[in-house]
Amino acid sequence: PPAAFLAASRAPDALLLDVRDPELRAAGHLPGARALPYASYVVPRPPAMGGLPDLDTLTRVLGAIGYEPGRLVLAYDEGGSGKAARLLWTLAALGHTRMALLDGGLSALQNETTTLLTREAEPVTPTTPQLAWAQGIVAERDWVVAHLCDPDVLLLDTRSAGEYAGFDVRAARGGHIPGAINLDWSTAFDPGRRPRTKPIEHLRSQLLAAGVDPAREIVVYCQTHHRSAHTWVVLKALGYPRVRGYAGAWSEWGNTPGLPIEP
């Protein structure tokens, strides 16, 4: 809940990050929040438009906002939580575990609290974090190809039903990765409280009903791993032990000749 997020942000080791675009931040941000725009940790590498930056880039970007691996990272965006979720997945890929996002983003917080925003910049002492990739968080294209017939792996396509079926085409080819099941990421939102998510047990029941088995290794993807990053956070919050994100997603798969697809 927003109130709990605010309380956590006051912890001595909390690192509060505003991942909105600069023009939105210019109108005001939460006191103490440092700017880390979405574009700084998502790198378009055509055909993959939601690529993961390399370690040198992440060291520079995260060091500039004073990141240290042991701190409690709290991230928020304007509302849909996809940008904040993508940051949490990126940090998880670096082995970070102490982190959370603001469910519903700044819009939910402003609807439910009287928190005042500020335009004052937070002073930052830059760091030079020692970063390395963790195992089991990232699914590269070749890894996905190698596990297409693996009964232990479940591909979860979080795009719309139209994208999944190939009617809504956003790449050279439409359709989905063979064997993937479809659960639109937006089904996680509570219709009466959007952009807040549904209660945790509702989410659990919904995922199980869709066939998302916690005993299997789950690989989530969408078009650029923005929507599916939110699903990744939901799955981890529910205790799913093995969840990867495919950052190349459909922008890479659908634009790469020779890769198999299903309509």
Give dist(CA 245, CA 219) in Å, integer. Answer: 6
Give the max Cα distance, the chain. Answer: 54
Q: Distance (Å, rounded) from C-alpha 175 to C-alpha 165?
A: 5
Cα–Cα distance, 236 to 239 (Å, whole number):
5
The token pair at 149 is: 């017939």
Q: How far is CA 104 from the centre of its chain?
A: 14
Q: What is the DSSP string of 193-210?
A: TTTSBPPHHHHHHHHHHT
> Strands of 243-245's sheet, edge to edge?
181-182, 153-157, 217-221, 243-245
Q: Catalytic site residue 222? A: yes
d(CA 134, CA 206): 29
Decide the pairing of beta strands 48-51 and 43-45. antiparallel
Cβ contact 28:119 at 8 Å: yes
Fill in the amino acid letter for 80. Answer: G
Catalytic entry in 17, 35, 109, 222 = 222
DSSP SS3 for 61 = helix
Query: Which of the residues are catalytic?
Result: 222
